[in-house]
Chains A and B, each alone.
Chain A
């Protein structure tokens, strides 16, 4: 999926407008259409899309946008900000009771990832809150569902309470609570059977479970790939269970995840966590900003540009950017950056965050293995070498040592050296670019074009090509 889908579209819509200096209502209208289509392609529910575009239209028509020199980017900013707002501006805190047991109930459709999320959540809570967690197996219907939870528990070293498939879920829940009391468990996570939101008997059952366990948190677990139906699913579960939050799963896929918006809009409760991989620690606190750019199909690059132009530097990413632009970027930062990317999941789009990196990979596919290779190389460097890239560049002995240490060829080490240089240079130039002069046709040009080796000789020419 093209990472700059929406910006392409907006530029198309703006082609007629360019040079006019300001936008007419008709221009805004045609841009709204593009935004609408883009959101629909991201699976945001069509009713939510309608409301949303109406809302931002007002904003986009406001004075501040008309004065802008680069309407396309500013419209994207308005849209992005509105999306972030809607998704929940600040990451909501996940609080556990200080005294007594905290009960967490998980609900959702079949196959949404409840059992896996239950396991991941248990691990997260043990790790970040140092609480003793008990997983409770209430799915007595799907064959081997209890097995799955028991196995997960073993892998995680988390206790699992189960009474087989003969007993009723409500009674299992009761016994689990009594057991937790005597054994001193502090957090109980109840994993329920997947059920259709329109299956009355099953919805009644989970309502009874809820009445029994009186959960402090009731989470809907929703597959991020869900389409238009997310609204109906969220509505029904919320109506029947009064949710306190949700977990969005399978975000390590390449879905744009518009369901998040539908979910949030309908329930108004925060999305608390997101599942980002098969590994059992692949559960992260939800990031509205990341989700917004993803829904817009722009990757995080847009957020980055946004932040660069606004000189905001808050998170990790921004610190890195600053470092890059200051020219003090080194292998340690590179490593950090790769770790960040690994954490974030989808590589294809994210690779574009690292100017030059996709070039180095050439036409080959970018996958986790390649990153591992690069990591291995960097880890074979000494601390001093990581901090001071010049050491390696100037000494072929060091390069050979690193090559043999990481089991890679010297050529690969050289390629990594080039990449680091390209990145540093690209970022330096970006820091010199006035945001207002970024070519609206190709705002990414400022980031994406890494200098070719040849250009080392012809700096003047290179510079001219860079400024539109």
Chain B
């Protein structure tokens, strides 16, 4: 059964990574759900069991709606009298959550690298880790032999340009920036022209963090996107919302508005090595059908990995399994 799930993931690179995934999130365990663990063990599917599951999902920041939908899915799928044994029950739970996530679709976590050049735009609210994430993606892509350029589109936050330039040095990437305070769209425009001349494969464009309810700032972002669209056919090839795993229900508003303005192609869930479970990303997939592409499980460059729903579900349920 699980083998079939795995086949659905086009970019599943390996066992080793799955292992690491779980280690990263293992820190997130705590003992709040001892009772639920006991109920699972006893294979007892009464009202209290479903309530405890609901709490677990809410605790993971999935939000009331998604949590209730999942639990009602489970109520339907799990036989009243319980299953053969606890293991089968666990498997059934994982399967239900999995089905709910993929929805009979193929979830592709690949980043599009066939553009000439490819342009990835990184967007999100303040402090989610956009610049750091770009640094890590740059390292991984240049290790794969891609010519990468980092574009300093955050011309607002003090130190942001310098921060990105340090990442460019560390990863041996090309770097394009203008002065602090310049129009980020013009930074994009000039960077693309330069990248074309230099035969760059991928441009990773940083943007200033902005809260999604700031209209002017969102318009600025839309303009950046338009400029990129105009300069390269099919670009930006990826527009990625960087989301802090500790984010609560506001993540829904972030996804909704950033998607309206920039047409998101995926999510990057950062800081999953803390104790937060990042369930908001599932709610976002559930409500807006935006897939999670990458997750950040630690400070190191290799700690940013492709998302794997199955590993995630196991890690999420690690407390009770």
Query: Residues of A with Cβ closer than 8 Å to B?
Result: 1, 37, 40-43, 45-47, 109-113, 142-152, 155, 196-198, 223, 225-230, 232-233, 250, 252-256, 258-259, 278, 346, 348, 365, 367-369
In the complex, the answer to whether B248 meets A144 with C-beta atoms within 8 Å is no
In whole angstroms, how far apart are the Cα atoms of A43 and B61 in the complex? 8
Q: A227-B247, A229-B61, A258-B248 are in contact. Are A197 and B274 (CB under 8 A)?
A: yes
In the complex, the answer to whether A144 meets B162 with C-beta atoms within 8 Å is yes
B270–chain A nearest beta-carbon distance, Å: 8
B244 at the interface (CB under 8 A from A): yes
In the complex, the answer to whether B166 meets A144 with C-beta atoms within 8 Å is yes
In whole angstroms, how far apart are the Cα atoms of A258 and B61 in the complex? 12
Which of B59, B158, B162, B253 is most buried by chain A, counting CB atoms within 10 A of its CB?
B158
Chain B interfacial residues counted at CB < 8 A: 46
B211 at the interface (CB under 8 A from A): yes
A-B complex: 6 closest residue pairs judged by Cβ atoms: A227-B248, A111-B127, A148-B159, A43-B248, A151-B158, A144-B163
Q: A111-B126, A197-B275, A228-B59 are in contact. Are A255 and B248 (CB under 8 A)?
A: yes
B271 at the interface (CB under 8 A from A): yes
Chain A residues, CB < 8 A from B277: 228-229
B259–chain A nearest beta-carbon distance, Å: 15
In whole angstroms, how far apart are the Cα atoms of A258 and B59 in the complex? 13
Checking B166, B250, B274 against A43 with a beta-carbon cut-off of 8 angstroms, the contacting residue is: B250
Q: How many interface contacts (CB-CB < 8 Å) are there between A and B? A: 148
B242–chain A nearest beta-carbon distance, Å: 10
In whole angstroms, how far apart are the Cα atoms of A227 and B248 in the complex? 3
In whole angstroms, how far apart are the Cα atoms of A196 and B167 in the complex? 22
B129 at the interface (CB under 8 A from A): yes
B220–chain A nearest beta-carbon distance, Å: 13
In the complex, the answer to whether B58 meets A255 with C-beta atoms within 8 Å is no
Knowing that A197-B274, A227-B61, A228-B61 are A-B contacts, what are 7 other residue pairs whose CB atoms are under 8 Å apart, sorted by A's residue number? A111-B126, A111-B128, A111-B244, A196-B274, A253-B212, A253-B250, A258-B248
Chain A residues, CB < 8 A from B246: 109, 223, 226-227, 229-230, 233
B157 at the interface (CB under 8 A from A): yes
B81–chain A nearest beta-carbon distance, Å: 29
In the complex, the answer to whether B163 meets A225 with C-beta atoms within 8 Å is no
B188 at the interface (CB under 8 A from A): no
Checking A143, A197, A348 against B167 with a beta-carbon cut-off of 8 angstroms, the contacting residue is: A143
In whole angstroms, how far apart are the Cα atoms of A197 and B276 in the complex? 11
In whole angstroms, how far apart are the Cα atoms of A259 and B247 in the complex? 10
Chain B residues, CB < 8 A from A146: 159
Q: A143-B162, A198-B27, A229-B276 are in contact. Are A1 and B157 (CB under 8 A)?
A: no
B30–chain A nearest beta-carbon distance, Å: 7
B300 at the interface (CB under 8 A from A): no
A234–chain B nearest beta-carbon distance, Å: 11
- The chain A residue with its CB closest to the CB of B245 is A229
Q: A250-B125, A255-B248, A255-B250 are in contact. Are A155 and B158 (CB under 8 A)?
A: yes
B55 at the interface (CB under 8 A from A): yes
26 A/B residue pairs, CB under 8 Å, sorted by A? A40-B58, A41-B63, A46-B55, A46-B58, A46-B59, A47-B32, A110-B127, A111-B128, A111-B244, A144-B162, A145-B159, A145-B163, A147-B158, A147-B159, A147-B162, A149-B159, A225-B125, A225-B250, A228-B60, A228-B61, A229-B274, A230-B248, A232-B276, A233-B275, A254-B253, A256-B249
